[in-house]
Amino acid sequence: MRIDFEREGGYAPLQLEYHADTDVLPVETRDKLLDLVKRSKVMEIQQSDLERSSQSFPDAFTYKLSITEGGKSKSLSFNDITVPASLHPLLELFQELALEQRLKK
């Protein structure tokens, strides 16, 4: 599974991005990530369900998420106001992984 995640905006200027191919991730990280992707049902979310995502709210984060798996691809953009509740655990993990990656550099 290919994952591309970006977060920008916000009161504090901590822009984050996380890009990964789950095939090459450590087993524990991969399993956790795949589990959250499955539980979030992200592949079933339609961008049209997030149609307010083009609207901007002061200091809210904006997110871009792309997932490609077995010929299927999903690209979503949303913000803190429009984010589906099921995605919160996934976003929390992306924040953790992105920060880990940045601190290693």
Partner 1 sequence: MSRCGFIPPFVLENLAKANVEEARISAWDSNQTTAKRSAREINVYSLVQAAAKNPLRYVYDCQNKGQQRVKLVRKEGDPATGDQDVNLVYDFAGVTRDFYKNTLKRNSIDDNGLDLILNVHYGVKYMNAYWDGDEMTFGDGDGKIFTAFDKSLDVVAHELTHGVTQYTANLVYKGQSGALNEHFSDVIGSAIQQYYDKVTAEKADWLIGNEIMGPTLYGEALRSMKAPGTAYDNDLLGKDPQPDHMKDYYNGSSDNYGVHINSGIPNKAFYLVSMDIGTDKAALIWYEALKKLIPTADFNFAVKKIADSARDLTNKKQVPQGSTQSVRAAFKEVGLPTK
Residues within the interface to partner 1 (CB under 8 A): 8-15, 52, 55-62, 80-83, 85, 88, 92, 95-96, 99, 102-103, 105
Min dist. Cβ of residue 48 to partner 1 (A): 12
Q: Which is nearer to partner 1, 37 or 62 (CB)?
A: 62
Min dist. Cβ of residue 52 to partner 1 (A): 5
Min dist. Cβ of residue 17 to partner 1 (A): 12
Q: Which is nearer to partner 1, 24 or 103 (CB)?
A: 103
Query: Which is nearest to 102 in space by CA: 43, 42, 19?
Result: 19
Tokens describing residue 94: 């992306």
Query: Which is nearest to 19 in space by CA: 4, 1, 37?
Result: 4
Q: Which is nearer to partner 1, 67 or 98 (CB)?
A: 98
Residues in the chain: 105
Contact 90, 61 (CB under 8 A): no
Determine the longest span between alpha carbons in the chain, in angstroms: 38
